[in-house]
Amino acid sequence: MGMTISQKILAYHAGLDFVEAGELINCKLDIVLGNDVTAPVAISEFNKLGLSEVFDQEKIVLVPDHFTPNKDIKSAEQCKIVRDFAKAYKIKHYFEIGQMGIEHCLLPEQGLVLPGDLIIGADSHTCTYGALGAFATGVGSTDMAAGMATGEAWFKVPESIKFIYYGKLPPWVGGKDLILYTIGDIGVDGARYMSMEFTGEVIKNLSIDNRFTMANMAIEAGGKNGIIEADEISLDYVNKRARRDYKLFQSDADASYYELREYDVSKLEPVVAFPHLPENARPVSEAVDISLDQVVIGSCTNGRIEDLAVAASLMKGKRVHPEIRTIILPGTQQIYLEAMQKGYIQTFIEAGAVVSTPTCGPCLGGHMGILAKGERALATTNRNFVGRMGHPQSEVYLSSPAVAAASAIKGKITPPWEI
């Protein structure tokens, strides 16, 4: 019997010829990631080990991005812990103000995560890197500490669900709609501790930015990881950035899957997830006329250049609704610069939106867009849990950048074709 791509990557990093679902294995890691929320806890645990060095100064990546630029004294202290550790242990890949970005936009852009890699990050959306054909998963801060010390981690080999998408995507439908629709179908625990393998003709024609969006939200279905086999589209992105060699893996034709799910997307509408779970996914036509107070376009889910391009195409020459606070968060400094060069930033500002430095900010209720009691936001972020973006009695709806931009203009949830 063959293996899935996820099994192959895990087997390779464990030095084994074959692994099967449920098996416990120990693997060597290519990248260990932490941010300003999770890394300080990992650093505290690492310091208890009394080590004078990390396992590899080039395989640890530290990115303060959740509460940066520092919003208060506590967040400043958090970042100082990370900064001091990076300096003391000569961590090569440390990114802060002026060079930083939202971590899951930044690492692929910098060529630090590559096909075939095994990556752990003390952040649940580390699964984003599966868009490049890597096995990437979120872990706790203590696992991050052990990873920094040893360069290894243990894994339970996950079962895999194969998602096959076919048909032709309708206008204004992209990766965010595909993944919200999928989560709506299987539920927020429908892939619990499983590998979500995205395949089919639709995926083969999907842009890299849309693939990042899909892999990013695998965790919202409970997935251990989301993964797409590397192909010409992903390798074109990777080969312009890669800092080291990489190894390609593909699922075997006779690989065993826990389940196969097929979707004909030909008639799919843009999708909106209602509060308070990503699984509450409905066609945008069932969400029209829901009034809003704020629109957020950005995050590690939809803060890339293609996302900003879609939003700018709808906002060009228009004004956002006077009662809507519209916040744009480019994913990295490079994305910000490219958006500026292409005129998107000017479009947003002229439309009445505010453009922020790269930061996670409002996505986790951190800063730069907190909701008050009774307020309602539409966001291109990944979670809409109770209190996720502020007050427990606020509401967050999730959508693609197209729906978000159209809604910012109209002041209520609106299909993009109505602009």
User: Which of these three, 262, 287, 314, is where a domain ends?
Assistant: 262
Alpha-carbon distance of 132 to 96, in angstroms, equals 24
User: Which of these three, 198, 231, 262, is where a domain ends?
Assistant: 262
Whether the per-residue pLDDT at 1 is higher than 90: the answer is no
If asked whether residues 322 and 256 sit together in one domain, one would say no
Confidence (pLDDT) at 99? 86
If asked whether residues 146 and 107 sit together in one domain, one would say yes
If asked whether residues 142 and 32 sit together in one domain, one would say yes
**Percent of the chain residues past pLDDT 90, beyond the cut:** 95
Question: For residues 106 and 98, is the Cβ–Cβ distance under 8 A?
Answer: no
Within-domain flag for 392: yes
Q: What is the mean pLDDT of the chain?
A: 96
Which tens digits make up the pLDDT trace of 25-46?
999 999 999 999 999 999 999 9
Confidence (pLDDT) at 97? 80
Which tens digits make up the pLDDT trace of 222-274?
999 999 999 999 999 999 999 999 999 999 999 999 999 999 999 999 999 99
If asked whether residues 182 and 48 sit together in one domain, one would say yes
**Percent of the chain residues past pLDDT 70, beyond the cut:** 100
Within-domain flag for 27: yes
Confidence (pLDDT) at 378? 98
If asked whether residues 254 and 295 sit together in one domain, one would say no
Which tens digits make up the pLDDT trace of 98-132?
888 999 999 999 999 999 999 999 999 999 999 99
Confidence (pLDDT) at 289? 86
Residue 314 — very low, low, confident or very high, per pLDDT cuts 50/70/90? very high
Confidence (pLDDT) at 13? 98
Within-domain flag for 287: yes
If asked whether residues 224 and 81 sit together in one domain, one would say yes
Whether the per-residue pLDDT at 419 is higher than 90: the answer is no
If asked whether residues 277 and 242 sit together in one domain, one would say no
Whether the per-residue pLDDT at 188 is higher than 90: the answer is yes
Which tens digits make up the pLDDT trace of 151-171?
999 999 999 999 999 999 999
Confidence (pLDDT) at 140? 95
Residue 393 is part of a domain; what is its CATH number?
A: 3.30.499.10
Q: How many angstroms separate the Cα of 82 from the Cα of each of 49, 76, 164, 228, 397?
A: 17, 10, 41, 32, 33
Within-domain flag for 185: yes
Within-domain flag for 289: yes
Confidence (pLDDT) at 213? 98
If asked whether residues 136 and 277 sit together in one domain, one would say no
User: Which of these three, 217, 241, 262, is where a domain ends?
Assistant: 262
Within-domain flag for 114: yes
If asked whether residues 212 and 338 sit together in one domain, one would say no
Whether the per-residue pLDDT at 181 is higher than 90: the answer is yes
Question: For residues 400 and 287, is the Cβ–Cβ distance under 8 A?
Answer: no
Domain carrying residue 402: 271-414
If asked whether residues 39 and 180 sit together in one domain, one would say yes
Helices 344-351, 333-341: crossing angle, 10 deg rounding: 80
Domain count, the chain: 2
Within-domain flag for 34: yes
If asked whether residues 252 and 169 sit together in one domain, one would say yes
Within-domain flag for 419: no
If asked whether residues 62 and 173 sit together in one domain, one would say yes
Mean per-residue pLDDT for 132-145? 97
